[in-house]
């Protein structure tokens, strides 16, 4: 089994910053990647960013330059640094991990950006 626990969400004013954290535990020996997606009210879940075991990263176009994903392998933790936040970034942010071609999701953390 794989467990993911997100933290770091909250309320922030437009232009502000937040850092999300996600700690993975369980059978994660064959982790291939970790990342983040988000889901705004009444919208589909969308990809935000991921980081591969190689350290290579990938971002959705709208997040490039504002968001940065990183990881601490020793702590089995992935981070999402979010800067220059906009009201349209308001969403529930979900951490995911891919282990042996299977994707697991966390329960999500709410990010609310006020104008």
Distance CA 21, CA 104 (A): 16
**Among 28, 15, 40, residue whose Cα is nearest residue 71:** 28
* DSSP letter, residue 75: G
Distance CA 75, CA 17 (A): 23
Instruction: Kindly calculate the radius of gyration of the chain based on its CA atoms and give it in whole angstroms.
Output: 13
Give residue-wise pLDDT tens across range 2-57: 999 999 999 999 999 999 999 999 998 888 999 999 999 999 999 999 999 999 99
Give residue-wise pLDDT tens across range 67-85: 999 999 999 999 999 999 9
């Amino acid at each position: 089994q794989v467990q993911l626990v997100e933290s770091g969400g909250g309320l922030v004013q437009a232009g502000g910053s937040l850092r999300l954290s996600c700690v993975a535990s369980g059978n994660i020996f064959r982790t291939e990647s970790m990342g983040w997606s988000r889901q705004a009210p009444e919208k589909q879940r969308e990809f935000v960013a991921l980081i591969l075991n190689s350290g290579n990263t990938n971002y959705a176009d709208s997040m490039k330059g504002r968001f940065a994903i990183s990881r601490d392998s020793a702590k089995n933790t992935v981070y999402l640094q979010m800067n220059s936040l906009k009201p349209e970034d308001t969403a529930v942010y979900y951490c995911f991990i891919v282990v042996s071609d299977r994707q697991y999701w966390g329960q999500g953390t709410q990010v609310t950006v006020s104008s």
